[in-house]
Amino acid sequence: MAKNWYPVIDYGKCTGCLTCVNFCPHGVYTAENGKPKVSNPDACVEFCKGCQKICPAGAINYSAEVSADG
Ligand code: SF4
Ligand code: SF4
């Protein structure tokens, strides 16, 4: 199932604080090797920007808004 709204992590900016992993109530993220992993993109709520707002590093964008595929 192709969904075009889910978070894309910029690992160059991400500090590994895991705030996003703990914040998302929909289980989109899991932690892997101390970094967030978008394990369940289909669970992301369309147009939600909750995790982007709370990321202290500005490392979260959304698939519909990034042209390059990480
Ligand atoms: S909140 Fe931002 S900096 Fe922290 S783990 Fe998530 S993406 Fe990385
Ligand atoms: S955008 Fe919302 S639903 Fe999607 S991962 Fe972030 S907090 Fe969870």
Question: What is the residue with the minimal CA distance to atom 4 of ligand 1?
Answer: 17
Structural domain count, the chain: 1
Q: What is the value of pTM for the model shown?
A: 0.90
pLDDT (tens digit, 9 = 90+) per residue, 3-34? 789 999 999 999 999 999 999 999 999 999 99
User: 23: Cβ–Cβ under 8 A, 6 or more apart, which residues?
Assistant: 50, 51, 54
CATH number assigned to the domain comprising residue 51: 3.30.70.20
pLDDT confidence band for 2 (50 / 70 / 90): low
Cα separation, 65 vs 57, in Å, equals: 18
Domain assignment of residue 21, given as a range: 7-65
| Ligand 2, CB within 6 Å, residue ranges | 7, 24, 26, 28, 44-45, 48-51
Query: Has residue 57 got a pLDDT over 70?
Result: yes
Burial of residue 20 (number of CB atoms within 10 Å: 0-12, 13-18, 19+): buried
Average pLDDT over all residues of the chain: 92
What pLDDT is recorded for position 45? 96
What pLDDT is recorded for position 67? 57
Is residue 46, in this structure, part of any structural domain at all?
A: yes
Is residue 32, in this structure, part of any structural domain at all?
A: yes
CA of 11 to the centre of ligand 1 (A): 9
| Ligand 1 mutation target, pool 9, 10, 13, 14, most atoms within 8 A of CB | 14
DSSP state of 37: E
Is residue 70, in this structure, part of any structural domain at all?
A: no
Amino acid at residue number 14: C
